[in-house]
Amino acid sequence: MKLAKTKADIAFDVCNYTLISILLLMVIYPLYFVIMASVTDPDLIYSGKLFFFPDQLTFDGYQRLLSEASIWVGFRNSVVYTVLGTAINVVLTVSAGYALSRTDLVGRNVFMFIIVFTMFFGGGLIPTYLLVKDLGLLNTVWAMVIPNAVSVFNVIITRTFFQSNIPGEVLESAMLDGCTNMKFFFKIAIPLALPIVAVMVLFYAVGHWNSYFQALIYLKNNSMQPLQVILRNILIMNEGSDLQDMIDGSQEQQKRMELMKYSIIIVSSLPVLVLYPFLQRYFVKGALVGSLKG
């Protein structure tokens, strides 16, 4: 039997829904505004007339942006770096997290101490660059995926997830049935760990897709630059030409530049926005269980 809500319950629900609606609006509207601004005449934006839907649609920003051949090269490179890097990241992170969660692993605490130690003390940029150079990774795909192949924070989250969701009794029962460690890992542990695997895929994929600093340091060949660096270069070049045109008295270039700024935001963010809904159902469960329990 459902109990009737009291006035205090109703007031509490109203406050909750009001607060959630305000927070949702604060999150959604800036993204919506950027999308609308990317197809709106800049004059309407400057005059403050753009609120919900533009009066005059223009796709000049997207046309100019996508007409750049380097955009497609950078997009291809970013996809390669993201897919390859995420695969390496997830394999190493999940394997390390599972191994460190096993109580029968000899020296587990020592390994964990060494891994956590790297969170607080690093070699720095110059020693890391020299190491990458000595390994012959400069101007190669591996320079984008090997140096940061494992995140210690993600290893800790993954280890905690395995400790919380796969009791030792399950392994003992499997061993009695003749299951080996490798078979247990692939047949039992991994299927039960799909939520945390999805979280790791999202974390690492977003990191690789947004990465540009490594490319600036390790890649000198323009044909290997990821999308973020290409977009940065286009923005810088247009700002330079925009300044010259302003000196010459031209305003059209400034308008096109504003359109391109918003278009660049959408183009660079779209793949992540598309990926997230497919992993959303795993994200909350995996992130919360992996970070709060254990």
The whole-number pLDDT of residue 290 equals 46
Digits of tens for pLDDT over the chain (294 positions)?
A: 556 778 787 888 889 999 999 998 888 888 887 887 777 777 666 666 666 776 677 777 788 777 777 888 888 899 999 999 999 999 999 999 988 888 888 888 898 898 888 888 877 888 889 988 999 989 999 999 998 889 888 999 889 888 888 777 777 788 777 778 888 888 888 888 888 888 888 889 888 988 888 888 999 888 888 988 887 887 777 665 554 554 444 566 666 677 777 787 787 888 877 777 776 666 665 555 544 444
DSSP string of the chain, one letter each residue:
-PPPPPHHHHHHHHHHHHHHHHHHHHHHHHHHHHHHHTTB-HHHHHTT--SSS-SSB--HHHHHHHT-HHHHHHHHHHHHHHHHHHHHHHHHHHHHHHHHH-TT-TTHHHHHHHHHHHHH----HHHHHHHHHHTT-TTSTHHHHSTT---HHHHHHHHHHHHHHS-HHHHHHHHHTT--HHHHIIIIIHHHTHHHHHHHHHHHHHHHHH--HHHHHH---GGG--HHHHHHHHHHHHHHHHHHHHHHT--HHHHHHHHHHHHHHHHHHHHHHHHHHHHHHHHHHHHHHHHH--
pLDDT score of 81: 93
Indicate the pTM of the whole model.
Answer: 0.77
Whole-number pLDDT of residue 259: 73
- Tell me, what's the pLDDT at 254? 67
**CA separation for the pair 184, 213 (Å, rounded):** 39
- Domains, the chain: 59-292 (1.10.3720.10)
Structure tokens at 128: 């890391």
CB 205 within 8 A of CB 275: yes
Structure-block tokens of residue 115: 């891994």
What pLDDT, on the 0 to 100 scale, is given for residue 279? 67
